[in-house]
Amino acid sequence: MASPLALPSELKELEDKLVALANAQHESEEYQRLFSVALSFPRIRAHHLQKAIWVLNRRECWAYAQAKAPFGVKQLVWQHEQEELGGDVARGLEDHYALNLRQGEAIGLSPQDFADARPTDTLFTCMSAWILLAKDSPWLKSLASCAALELTNSEAVLRGKSASRRMAERIRDDLGIEIGKQQSYQEHMVADIEHAGILMRVARDHAHDDLARAQILEGVEESWAIDRVFRGHLAALMESINE
């Protein structure tokens, strides 16, 4: 027997909770600390290399979520990941890791710097936690754990600016690098508005009972807990480097 559809009020309550949690993430101590660090070129280089490694981890986590999901959801994830992995030929857009390398050029990083970069112990631990969350959770929780990080970068969800915009403006103001030369941040200011919608699209089709909605909330909350550790670590990493 097919599961009954969720009531509109139940989906609205879920969406309201997700929006509130995404905004609370930006108001957390770790986010506030990260976006208040005075930037220098050595500091932002260290930050950017760790973020580039994190980008690769995102692709791994989405792959686990896709593997566990029903066919229709696999298609949604595939649409999401196509641009991340392959770019957009029609727009002349490189894949999103290549955008990170191109943005790195503006702050003095070479392709070899990215090839030589290794995760810090804290980033390694966070990436391992995200992989376990995506790999070993029920599929709805797995998907939500990945989509959570799109929600905190979407200005369709947030009351204020996205994480990409906040950092791009700090780099512009502190280091004089225009946002147009920050290719990765510039793209994600736009792309993640659409990407953030994947979770509620899935919820409308699959979150038909209390258990399913609870799994979605568990996925985002646990992912954001890891994210707070990661953002706090990025702040501490930059603070440890003399300006």
Residue-range domain boundaries for the chain = 8-239
pTM, rounded to two decimals: 0.92
Q: What is the CA radius of gyration of the chain?
A: 18
pLDDT confidence band for 2 (50 / 70 / 90):
very low
Average predicted confidence (pLDDT) for the chain: 91
pLDDT value of residue 21: 97
Select from 54, 89, 73, 196 the least CA-distant residue to 139.
73
pLDDT value of residue 1: 31
CA–CA distance, 243 with 232 (Å, rounded to integer): 18
CB 108 within 8 A of CB 45: yes
CB 11 within 8 A of CB 207: yes
Most confident of 69-78, 84-93, 95-104: 69-78
pLDDT value of residue 83: 80
Select from 240, 212, 222, 230 the least CA-distant residue to 14.
212
Structure tokens at 81: 């990941």
Under CATH, domain 8-239 is a member of which superfamily?
Answer: Heme oxygenase-like (1.20.910.10)
pLDDT value of residue 183: 83
Q: CB-based contacts of 23: which residues, under 8 Å, 6+ apart?
A: 157, 158, 159, 160
CA–CA distance, 226 with 109 (Å, rounded to integer): 27
pLDDT tens sequence across 186-239 = 877 776 566 668 998 999 999 999 999 999 999 999 999 999 999 999 999 999
pLDDT tens sequence across 54-88 = 999 999 999 999 999 999 999 999 988 888 877 67
pLDDT value of residue 94: 67
pLDDT value of residue 219: 99
pLDDT value of residue 186: 82
